[in-house]
Structure 1
Amino acid sequence: MPTSPAWPEHAIFWHVYPLGFTGAPVSGEEAKAANAPGAMPYPRLRHLTRWLDHLVELGCNGLLLGPVFASAGHGYDTLDHRRIDPRLGTEEDFAALVGGCRARGVRLVLDGVFNHLSAEHPVVQRAMEAGPDSEAGRWIRWVDGYPRWFEGHSTLVELDLAHPPVRDAVAGVMTHWLEQGADGWRLDAAYAPGAEVWRPVIDRVRAAHPEAWVVGEVIHGDYPAFVAGSGVDSVTQYELWKAIWSALVDTNLYELDHGLGRHDDFLETFLPQTFVGNHDVTRIASRVGEDGAVLALAVLMSVGGVPSVYYGDEEGYTGVKEDRAGGDDAVRPRFPQDPGELAPWGQQVHRAHVDLIGLRRRHPWLVRARTKTVSLANEHLVYRSVGADGQWLEVELDLREGAHRAQVRDAEGQRLWAWG
């Protein structure tokens, strides 16, 4: 039976939404013009390549990259999975990014948007012209004779991943970009079609690339069952994300304690992909403040899983996601030309990221650590993260008196890190 690759056990990712990061237009006439026939590609991926040293300086060794393929707007409305989005450049610009990652020992994981396509995609257009009972029509999902929209978005049409030619096409795209230098895939909206439809795709990809790491975006439900049924290596650990920020907002560390218990259960069968921020959610600093964001990071870096840091969180960026057109823009901002242009007010949070990521690097066994509660109250929690060989670190979170304090101690009681 295929097994997961070993390298993610040592991976800490910097997560970047490239269209926003590079300042590419994601809507309106400018975005439409970029995809017009004859339009010149704009090499914005080179902008991201210049930031790889920042990733390494943080202590990360992985780049979790949002959509880079030709799309109609925000990247999740794909037009061509085999072409780099002209707003980001060309295959040569992508190759330069891959080369920059390789030179620094950085693993590259791509965002695979395979559950749905732009309504303008040729596959969708052919299906709509031919109808649901045609061969072309069987490539997409239908409801009452109409193309099925993804979560009510009329610009996004769902592929039928249960149809063998669709599965073959998706596996072919995944294999193609792995051959171009990618190390793995995040499967966007993996939850939508169900676990079982992914199994033939994952098995085929893994047969060709056994070292590829595949993580599915799953928000709710039975995570271990999804991993077992689909064949993916990991899923996005939204339960822990919610427990961390909600416990801090409500000053209810019992919720975090419960979340850590659930997290331990997941670790029995797979390594979850953990985070406190991503391209789809309100910034952690906007939810819990700067001090709270550092405490959230302390939890992230001291418990099991494969962690990622969303770009800008390491500088204390704020941004609120809103349920409206353009409502993601605030959490997907443009980054400066180079790290020297970052605002000085982010230095303390940046330092905390370097320190906590460094702490995790010095204790690599944390990737599979389990937590044991030592002391618990609404405003105060002490837990131990314990490795398979009995080594442990002790983490204290203190919200008493309205403060946000934290520290990490080793087994000898020596303080390794503190905040507040």
Structure 2
Amino acid sequence: LYASRTMSVGQKVVNLDTVANTWMRAPGESIGTFALESAIDELAYEMKIDPVELRRLNEPEKDPTKGTEFSSRHLVEAFRRGAEKFGWSGRPAEPCSQRDGKWLIGQGVATAYYPVFRFPAAVRLRISADGSAVVQAAANEMGMGTATVQIQHAADRLGLPLEMVSFRYGDSDLPDSPIIAGGSSQTGSIAAAVQVAVEKAHRELVKLAGNGSPLAGANVEIEARDGGLFVSGEESRGETYASILKRAGRDFIEVEETSGMPFEVMKYSMASYGAQFCDARVNHESGEVRISRWLGSFDCGRILNPKTAVSQLRGGIVMGIGMALAEETLLDTRRGRIMNPSLAEYHVPVHLDVPHIEIIYNDIPDEHTPLGAHGVGEIGITGAAAAIANAIFHATGKRIRDLPITLDKLL
């Protein structure tokens, strides 16, 4: 994240007869950004410089760990837009300077970060004589919008209306694709396979059209629109999928393709970025913390579906609120048993714990990724806990370095 010439990362593992301390979402980055972004905030106060400005001053030109170029990075723009929308410039610099009765008020900020991954994937595409199409992949859909986005993508590439395209998934008999929805990688991985499958289908259809088709002899660029294939620049020279298949006496055409290796990830430094801003209110009598306002400003390449993407980003932030203020596994070290093994005792955020979460995004495509998109599934939780801890410091002057931030740590 920062243009540092020196870096040291260490990890210590101790073998114990207990459950390993591990991750739930955004492996490594959600925990790591809490430590790093808390430290950056602490440095900003020591230097008496605005935390947003400190991050801008240390924006790297290349990846400081690998020395590679960024494929697309507009983090400074995300911070600029977020700070303006949040009203960051009106925030007093000194901690403990805002109060509303028994509530101490503070504002915090932190950077969000999650790398881009893409894995080889295969899809099967069938275009039927009625003009409909179905994309098939073994991937699962847990509600994050994979099916919706792949239907959008396939419909756009095929020149078909959305209602004529379906996506079949969740069956291991279907073509091998990233079955696990992890690493914020599923959309990009499947999209790359859909692209090559559509291109192959179009080549097959042009051959199938034969000499009796308006496409015959067309050695110029072909475009998909209006339910078929047309010669680019010629409004009427083309033919629908239904017409091609009917004349050939075929009920459908089916192709299967696999996307290539993710060489772009090896060549460039690729990630989703963001700026998390929040207001925290701390009751100076009880230590109770309330998050009263949140704004996330993200740089995730092209946003393919605003509704599903914003839902993913909000969901990650809610999980970050739980990580910061409530979620904790309590262990009876004498008996070696977990003391809060159910949701009756393991606390997660409920509606009253979560403020209105406003999401904005740059929507700047990355020319090196499928559809110009970066992942949005896990970026939301990263930086969230640090933003809360930094807001609590600004409200109270107390720097909390271990999570969750419970009442006893603030009294």
TM-score by structure 1 length?
0.20
Higher relative contact order (CA 8 A, sep 6+): 2
Structure showing greater Rg = 2
TM-score by structure 2 length?
0.20
More helix by share: 1
